Amino acid sequence: MKMISNFSMSLLESDEIKINILKTLLKNNKELSLNGLRKRIGAVNYNSVKRNCEFLEKFGLIKIEQKIIENKKYNFITITDKGKETLEQIKNSKIS
């Protein structure tokens, strides 16, 4: 039986958002507020970005930390070492 090695896969929009989140966090090399991250990746929907960040956090790729500034809660996002390694693997693959 012959195996086909050229497997092509397209990404969902939500997958592309997740990859863009990781790329943006790595590029900035510092924590970003959730809203600041949303603006940098060019997303419109705050809740969509928040859900994607929560998904990435479940796998240990990013860290979400709540901080209170002037009596308001803000979510700050940072990429983890695991997130950096995963992004490197994505860059080395044909996906992205």
Is pLDDT above 80 for 92? Answer: yes
- The span from the CA of 57 to the CA of 42, in Å, is 20
Instruction: State the pTM of this model.
Output: 0.84
Whether the CB-CB separation of 40 and 61 falls below 8 Å is answered with: no
User: pLDDT tens for residues 58-70?
Assistant: 999 999 999 999 9
In the chain, domain spans: 13-92
Q: Count Cβ atoms within 10 A of the Cβ of residue 49 and give its class: 0-12 exposed, 13-18 middle, 19 or more buried.
A: buried
CATH architecture group of domain 13-92 = Orthogonal Bundle (1.10)
- Is residue 95 over pLDDT 50? yes
- Give the residue-averaged pLDDT of 48-76: 96
* 96 compared with 31, residue with greater pLDDT: 31
The average pLDDT across 14-22 equals 94
- Residue 68 has a pLDDT of 94
Residue 70 is predicted with a pLDDT of 95
